[in-house]
């Protein structure tokens, strides 16, 4: 059971919930904090104090005061007007990751939403109501407004969802799952929409796969070295201690462990005329290690983001303050994921060069051309 308290989540936890392998609940501490935050919003409304997003318009209309009688309509229209994404729907795993991440950041108690909002998100996770969220439409600089709006449509019983493998109106999906749609109160539409949980969800799952890929590349590289009768000398720990990047040293150690006690290596230790192997073999620790470093950095950023308040404005109950800021901006996550994408591309590049050496009869150390025993017909 994963108990949400607005904490930083590990990629493994996000992936496990996305696959439906780990149940999720809201901690008692978080529930009390969220209720206290909501109480401050109610006090603001009762006092007539003007606060952005609570009783004002949005963006360029932030100077327009909204009367108490129209506060629910304001939040409802905000959700409907921003549900304008296009393209294919996100996968169910990505959608589940979004539900988890949005519930967790609301659990920090800095958005002013009721505990009911989080309870509804977690019920959708538990019972498999997955909003249909188009993959395109996020602005990034304003967070993931459009994707989160599509998620929020289902919360209020509108839009479309997948339920038990069937696409249907969200109202019907919620009815079948026994979940009551929410009538949004003041600030709650904005609390659901403001944030980076779409990019975080997609990025978290991609990073989790990329880390597996990076270790798999070591395995494939070690097997390639064996097939080409190469030498593990380039992975000697002393070489990498002389250039002590953590990822490089990790990759070298992993490659050495994979090649330990290799019988193939022993067959050509003596009288091998080659001085050193090709770059694509010899430089695996440097390239694979740099990829590890990039993915490690991206993991750190995304895990910090998973437990960060990305709403605007933010509620601070200790001083009864509601402060406008820019935590919704996607730059920290976007730059980290761009870096990770560049790294994975480089991993694919060196992998392709190793494949070429394996299949090319001019460089594959006597292996069959194109690795087939029936060259020319296979």
* pLDDT of 195 higher than 90: yes
Same domain, 344 and 275: yes
Quick one: pLDDT at residue 90?
98
Just list the catalytic residues. 52
Mean pLDDT of 102-112: 98
Quick one: pLDDT at residue 260?
92
Q: List all residues 6 or more positions away from 290 whose beta carbon is below 8 Å from its beta carbon.
A: 245, 247, 248, 343, 346
Quick one: pLDDT at residue 277?
87
Q: Which helix (H) or strand (E) holds 196?
A: none
Distances (CA, A) of 58 to 37, 249, 335: 21, 51, 27
Q: Give the domain-ending residue among 147, 172, 194.
A: 194
User: What does the alpha-carbon distance between residue 340 and residue 342 come to, in Å, rounded to a whole number?
Assistant: 5
**Which domain covers residue 121, as residue numbers?**
2-194
Mean pLDDT of 92-110: 98
Quick one: pLDDT at residue 270?
67
Mean pLDDT of 134-162: 95
Tokens 């249907």 belong to residue:
168
Same domain, 181 and 218: no
Percentage of residues in the chain with pLDDT exceeding 70?
97
> Which of these ranges, 66-70, 102-106, 293-297, has the smallest mean pLDDT?
66-70
Quick one: pLDDT at residue 139?
85
* pLDDT of 9 higher than 90: yes
Domains identified in the chain, total number? 2
* pLDDT of 269 higher than 80: no
- Tell me, yes or no, whether 86 lies in a domain: yes
Average pLDDT taken over every residue of the chain:
95
* CATH code of the domain containing 83: 1.10.275.10
Same domain, 69 and 168: yes
> 267: exposed, middle or buried (C-beta count within 10 Å: 0-12, 13-18, 19+)?
exposed
Same domain, 8 and 47: yes
Residue 64 contacts residue 165 (beta carbons within 8 Å): no
Mean pLDDT of 307-318: 95
If pLDDT is split at 50, 70 and 90, which confidence band does 319 have? Answer: confident
Q: Give the DSSP letter string of 327-347.
A: TT--HHHHHHHHHHHHHHHHH
Quick one: pLDDT at residue 253?
98
Percentage of residues in the chain with pLDDT exceeding 90?
87
Residue 129 contacts residue 154 (beta carbons within 8 Å): yes
If pLDDT is split at 50, 70 and 90, which confidence band does 261 have? Answer: confident
Same domain, 235 and 364: yes
Mean pLDDT of 250-269: 86
Same domain, 185 and 247: no
Residues 110-139 pLDDT 10s = 999 999 999 999 999 999 999 999 999 998
Quick one: pLDDT at residue 267?
65
Residues 334-373 pLDDT 10s = 999 999 999 999 999 999 999 999 999 888 888 888 888 8
Give CA angle at 271 (270, 277), nearest 5°.
Answer: 90
Same domain, 339 and 245: yes
Same domain, 224 and 143: no
* pLDDT of 378 higher than 80: no
Q: Give the domain-ending residue among 143, 159, 194.
A: 194
Query: Phi, psi (5° rounding) for residue 349?
Result: -65, -50
Residue 197 contacts residue 98 (beta carbons within 8 Å): yes
Quick one: pLDDT at residue 59?
85
């Amino acid at each position: 059971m994963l108990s949400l308290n607005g904490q930083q989540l590990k990629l493994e936890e996000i992936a496990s919930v996305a696959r439906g392998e780990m149940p999720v609940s809201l901690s008692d501490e978080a529930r009390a904090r969220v209720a206290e935050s909501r109480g401050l919003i109610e006090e603001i409304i009762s006092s007539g104090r003007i606060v952005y997003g609570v009783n004002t318009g949005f963006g360029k209309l932030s100077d327009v005061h909204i009367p108490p009688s129209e506060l629910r309509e304001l939040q409802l229209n905000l959700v409907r007007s921003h549900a304008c994404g296009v393209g294919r729907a996100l996968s169910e795993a990505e959608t589940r990751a979004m539900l988890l991440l949005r519930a967790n950041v609301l659990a920090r108690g800095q958005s002013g939403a009721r505990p009911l909002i989080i309870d509804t998100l977690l019920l959708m996770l538990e019972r498999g109501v997955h909003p249909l969220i188009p993959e395109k439409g996020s602005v990034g600089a304003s967070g993931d407004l459009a994707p989160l709006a599509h998620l929020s449509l289902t919360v209020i019983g509108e839009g479309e969802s997948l339920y038990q493998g069937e696409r249907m109106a969200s109202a019907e999906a919620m009815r079948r799952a026994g979940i009551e749609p929410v009538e949004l109160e003041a600030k709650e539409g904005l609390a659901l929409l403001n944030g980076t949980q779409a990019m975080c969800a997609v990025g978290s799952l991609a990073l989790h796969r990329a880390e597996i890929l990076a270790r798999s590349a070591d395995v494939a590289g070690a097997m390639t070295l064996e097939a080409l009768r190469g030498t593990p000398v380039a992975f000697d720990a002393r070489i990498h201690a002389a250039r002590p990047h953590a990822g490089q040293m990790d990759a070298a150690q992993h490659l050495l462990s994979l090649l330990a006690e290799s019988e193939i290596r022993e067959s050509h230790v003596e009288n091998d005329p080659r001085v050193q192997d090709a770059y694509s073999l010899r430089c695996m620790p440097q390239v694979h290690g740099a990829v590890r470093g990039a993915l490690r950095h991206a993991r750190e950023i995304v895990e910090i983001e998973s437990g960060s308040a990305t709403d605007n404005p933010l509620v601070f109950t200790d001083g009864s303050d509601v402060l406008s800021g820019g935590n919704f901006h996607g730059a920290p996550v976007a730059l980290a994921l761009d870096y990770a994408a560049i790294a994975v591309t480089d991993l694919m590049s060196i992998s392709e060069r190793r494949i070429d050496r394996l299949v090319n009869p001019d460089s594959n150390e006597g292996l069959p051309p194109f690795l087939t025993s029936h060259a020319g017909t296979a």
